[in-house]
Chain A
Amino acid sequence: MTRRWFHKSVETKYYEERDAVFNALPRLDRRSFMHVSAAAAAAAAANGVSFNFHSFTPVSVAKAQDTGAGGFTFAYISDSHLYERTVNDRFVRSLMRAVDDINRLDPKPDFVLYGGDLAQLGAPAELELGSQILKAVQAPVRMMVGEHDWYLDMGEKWRDLFGAPTYSFDHKGVHFVVLNSVIEKDFWTERNMTPEQRMQTVAGLDNGVQSRFEVGAEQRQWLADDLAKISAATPVIVFSHSPLYKYYKPWNFWTDDADEVQAILARFNQVTVIHGHTHQMLTNRIGNIDFHGMLSTAWPWPYAPEGLPSLTVQMSRPNPFDMHDGLGDGRVMVDPAGLVDKLYNLWNRNPVEVTASYLRGDKSAAPAKPNLVSY
Chain B
Amino acid sequence: MTPEEEKEFLRRRKARNLVVAGTLLFFVVLFYAITMVRIGGQG
Q: Do A and B belong to a common assembly?
A: no
